[in-house]
Structure 1
Amino acid sequence: MSASDSQDPAEKAIQDFARITGVNEALAHFFLQDFDFQLERGLNAYYRQMEKEEDTTEASAENDDDDDDGNDSDVMIIEDDNSMEVDNSETNIPTNREPKQTSTKLPNPNIDKFPDDITLVTYNVDGLDTGNLRTRFQGVVHIIAKINPEIILLQEVVDEHMDVINEVIAPMYHVITPLNKGMPYFTVTLVSKNISSRTLECKPFANTSMGRTMSVFEGYWQKLRLVVIHSHLESMREHAQARKAQFSECMKRMEANLDPDTLVIFAGDLNIRDSELPMIHPQIKDAWIAAGSDKETRYTWDNMKNSNKGLPNNVRYRFDRVYFNGPFKKVDFSLAGTQQIRKIMCYPSDHFAVVCKFWNPVN
């Protein structure tokens, strides 16, 4: 048997995809995994996407002179073709369509069921630690690729990460980053392009001294309306008052989106201690608790298990959290990034990634 005969079909598809399209194998892997590594399906989808992006670029170029008002707002809102409401005063994407006053929901009579499941990863990637930065982030990307989630929420991203994100991850995801970062680190919100986007928004908290923001994605997948609220709240114990106010602001955004057909999620590195939590709306669930409160997955910044910072092993917090409400009866909660990268003998980050799978919808 020749080497080519024994080659894994997925690996061969990745190599062929990279050779045909000219992208690297990491991007080929990330793209093909959405098509079960079927080369022809992947290539067809890839070229359709390239054509769509070229059309969008040309349309934007034609409208730039007319629609660029020089607004350098800290709020970014992007509306796609399915949008039914456009706020031109706060958008940095030119549009030649008039705003339409409609319901906040976009019913589609041809889609009458929820998706079977939806997976989220939230991960503080510790970009402020420059040690082994590139190798550690390669580990992060490897973890994400294995999970293949619909929603990726990253905190403490730095500019050095963005080339990899833009090349390997972003082609398959809607992306939200702050327009005016103000700090050397920031959040990146990514939601699969299988989910049609309605709005993408990122705005700074009024009380932040650390450049912290609230990002919001709203979109639709089959019957499901999806709202994702992502934040990295103010750090350190002495900033508890600011953090609690930010937490409450995000919770109010959640409460405004409670609806039987909506999966609304608030997640990220919240830096919140249990003693700081306010009363939470009874319909909003903590994913770790809803999944059974497994003690093995409680702490996401756990110096007993993670040696990256060299801190005492009794320093353990549940900083990274996921709150949700929606039409899914079950949620699985697990941690990723819990193994060291062998060649550098450290973990991808000082935080562990939180992985939540929402499943068993009420159809």
Structure 2
Amino acid sequence: MSKTVMSVGHIDKQMSDLEEKRRNLCDHFAFVSGSDSAVAQCYLSENDWDVERALNSFFEAHMDSEFDVEEAEETKNESGTKRKELDSPATADTSGTKKLKSDKMNCIDLTADEPSCSRNVNSKESQAESNSRSQSDDGDSKLSFISWNVDGLDTINLAERARGLCSYLALYTPDVVFLQELIPAYIQYLKKRAVSYLFVEGSDDGYFTGIMLKKSRVKLLESDIISYPTTQMMRNLIVAKVTFLGRKLYLMTSHLESCKNQSEERMKQLRVVLQKIIQSPDDVTVLFGGDTNLRDSEVVKVGGLPQGVCDVWEQLGKQEHCRYTWDTKANSNKSLPYVSRCRFDRIYLRSAKTGPKFIPDHMVLVGMEKLDCSRYTSDHWGIYCTLNT
């Protein structure tokens, strides 16, 4: 009789553990996808409670449709305004010069022409950066880059916010772009417009990070994806080995584990990043940009930054206007019942120990102008930065 009771008790414990595990999976799915527990349970149960498969299924169902509508609208607009040009292989302008029809009418070189997207970018900001942009375009040795969590998991106004990102890329024409929270549809959208960039992606499923390299200035040698063994949120580290105007660079980006209760995992991931930085060859400059989700106390707990590695924001004097990259006081994309102001997005630099040094020159936050949809490009501000040699 006692054996029967123990057996029933054991079964009850197993069922309780299973329910708890599935509740946690639902919570994780809801957090990542921005949905609720009912949606989470539906997708998870349909995918045998495999969270990665369930998230992929969710993104395919919800995200592609956003960009399909966008593409349909653009096609309709182009067919009305460019029908004559498309009907013939060549047309003549008033000077008699022939204009050849492009085979890639939907592709836009962001370093040459600005895309047809909603450009609510402040003119003062444009003037303030015009000098650094023109210097970069002229081919000098200054390295420019943007790091931005673009919040591709937020389905609201997704296509218009992606156009907003294109506007900023056209405005700043950075040599390198570090992106976090990409989804497959979002990256495909960018590839159609940013034809002057080469893309290095951390994955092609779910949500992931990526690096964009301006082809005319940055040459990719090889890339690597380093997994975080204990991540619960599909996080990893991308390392792109490149040359920039003949100088060796390792470019790194990551999206470290989110949420306050994931501090231990986040610090494990930070240790991996810092280890990769300090193990890089002496003749290589290492540049990391990403959404670290870090609190300053966590950096202290891992022993601080290694010798020779600097936090670029700190190196530039801890300018207050660049401090908060996640700021619910100023950014209204997320409807939260509290105010949170954090420096989640960070830039780390380790200059080569031999040869010319890269020195932090300038930093500014971008994406602080509302789009036509009355929302910002992302719930994070982006970081635009330049390095001198």
TM bracket (short chain): 0.5 to 0.7
Residue 199 of structure 2 corresponds to: 175
For 2:244 and 2:266, the matched residues in 1 are separated by 32
Aligned amino acid, residue 381 of structure 2: F
Once the two structures are superposed, residues 51-105 of structure 1 have per-residue CA deviations (whole angstroms, 9 ceiling, x without a partner) of xxxxxxxxxxxxxxxxxxxxxxxxxxxxxxxxxxxxxxxxxxxxxxxxxxxxxxx
Answer yes or no: is the 8 Å Cα contact 1:287–1:331 preserved in 2.
Answer: no
Distance between the aligned counterparts of 1:18 and 1:190, measured in 2?
30
* Secondary structure of residue in 1 paired with 2:110: helix
* Cα displacement (A) at 1:142: 0.9
RMSD of aligned alpha carbons: 2.4
| CA distance 1:179–1:293, change in 2 (3 Å) | closer
Q: 1:19 offset after TM fit, Å?
A: 5.7
Matching of residue 358 in structure 1 with residue 380 in structure 2? no
Q: Tell me how far 1:158 sits from its aligned partner.
A: 1.3
Paired position in structure 1 for 2:360? 330
Report the CA distance between 1:229 and its aligned residue: 1.1
1:305 & 1:344 partners in 2: Cα distance? Answer: 17
Q: Given the two structures, how large is their TM-score scaled by the length of structure 1?
A: 0.67
Alpha-carbon offset, residue 176 of structure 1: 1.6
Deviation, 1:136, is 0.8
SS of aligned partner of 1:32:
coil
**Residue 237 of structure 1: which of 229, 252, 260 is its match?**
260
Aligned to 2:218: 195
CA contact (8 A) 1:17 1:28 kept: no
Q: Which of 285, 289, 294 is residue 319 of structure 2 equivalent to?
A: 294
Displacement of 1:116: 1.7
1:21 equivalent among 81, 98, 102:
102
8 A Cα contact 2:168 2:367, kept in partner? yes
CA distance in 2, matches of 1:121, 1:232: 15
Structure 1 letter corresponding to 2:366: A
Deviation, 1:215, is 0.3
2:264 aligned with 1:270: no
Q: CA deviation at 1:290?
A: 1.1
Partner residue of 1:347? 376
Post-superposition offset of 1:191: 1.6
| Residues 1:210 and 2:210 are matched in the alignment | no
- In structure 2, C-alpha distance between the alignment counterparts of 1:309 and 1:331, rounded to whole Å: 32
| Distance change (3 Å), C-alpha of 1:309 and 1:174 | same
Instruction: Give the drift of 1:21.
Output: 2.3
CA positional deviation for 1:138: 0.6
Q: Report how far residue 222 of structure 1 moved.
A: 3.1
- Pick one of 300, 314, 329 that aligns with 1:304: 329
In structure 2, what is the equivalent of residue 105 of structure 1?
none
Q: Does 1:32 align with 2:112?
A: yes
* AA matched with 1:189: I
TM-score, normalising length from structure 2? 0.63
Matched, 1:224 2:247: yes
Q: In 1, are the aligned partners of 2:149 and 2:380 still within 8 Å (CA)? A: yes
Larger radius of gyration: 2
Unaligned runs of 5+ residues in structure 1 are: 1-11, 35-113
Unaligned runs of 5+ in 2: 1-92, 115-138, 352-356
CA gap of 1:163–1:223, structure 2 versus 1, over 3 A, is closer
CA contact (8 A) 2:328 2:336 kept: yes
Distance, in Å, in 2 between the alignment partners of 1:19 and 1:314 is: 54
1:131-177 deviation per Cα after TM superposition (whole angstroms, max 9, x unaligned): 001001110111112111111111111122122122112x3223221
Give CA deviations for 1:247-273 in whole Å, capped at 9, x if unaligned.
Answer: 1101111111263x4321111001111
Distance 2:168 2:245 in 1: 27
In the TM superposition, 1:110-129 aligns within 5 A as: 116-129=141-154
* Distance across 1 between alignment mates of 2:339 and 2:98: 48
Distance 2:200 2:246 in 1: 23
Following superposition, the deviation at residue 17 of structure 1 comes to 12
